A and B are shown apart, each in its own frame.
Chain A
Amino acid sequence: QKEVEQNSGPLSVPEGAIASLNCTYSDRGSQSFFWYRQYSGKSPELIMSIYSNGDKEDGRFTAQLNKASQYVSLLIRDSQPSDSATYLCAVNKGFSGGYNKLIFGAGTRLAVHP
């Protein structure tokens, strides 16, 4: 079992729809969770971070975390063609003391069509 799992996609949604991206993780001790967007040929760009159970909203993006189910999701409302990219879920396996070690899922490719 991979430590962080995502559907590879592609996830195809029409412009203006809600895109729902999902991620599960295996280590119950994981403490922080991130979503990155990566355009082809570019480096990952942080779009959301979430640390506690529940929802966190930032503009058109909402991250949801359920630690009991070991599940993280990202909702993109009013999807635009410019949202077409690979979305990477990352989990921080850092130890107490502030270590930083991100474990990434394989990424979900999102395609928003006009």
Chain B
Amino acid sequence: KAGVTQTPRYLIKTRGQQVTLSCSPISGHRSVSWYQQTPGQGLQFLFEYFSETQRNKGNFPGRFSGRQFSNSRSEMNVSTLELGDSALYLCASSPPGENTEAFFGQGTRLTVV
């Protein structure tokens, strides 16, 4: 079974630009979550989608948004990039059921210059 796939793996963007990251979950997983990892703040929850609906949202500004498609694939978008948005962005998918495990993709390393 294929794992969680994230594209692209690496991105370099300029301040003020916007970026879109993509995530394909494990087959059969309908819950997709996004996390930001930085050396200073560690792993922080961004949002979770299930059946194309955002169910949970973390404490991030509105510049961070996401969506989920009918095939469970998900995208996250960051607008008006700031230097502090440089981070590893991780997508995780979870199997059906309550409070189940989350399996992470390889991540997208975003550098804002």
Contacts and interface: CB of A to CB of B under 8 A. Distances in A.
Interface of A: 31-32, 34, 36, 42-46, 49, 51, 88, 90, 92, 94, 96-107
A97 to B, nearest CB: 7
B14 to A, nearest CB: 24
B99 A98 contact: yes
The B interface is mostly helix, strand or loop, or mixed, namely strand
Nearest to B32: A100
Given A100-B33, A100-B48, 4 more contacts: A43-B88, A43-B104, A98-B96, A101-B45
Q: What does DSSP make chain A's interface, helix, strand, loop or mixed?
A: loop
Nearest to A92: B99
Contacts of B64: none
A46 B92 CA distance: 11
B94 interface: yes
B106 interface: yes
Interface in B43-79: 43-45, 48, 50, 55-56, 58
Interface size class of B (residues with CB under 8 A): 20 to 34
Contact of B55 (A51, A92, A96, A99): A99
A34 B54 CA distance: 23
B33 A49 contact: no
Contact of A43 (B56, B99, B107): B107
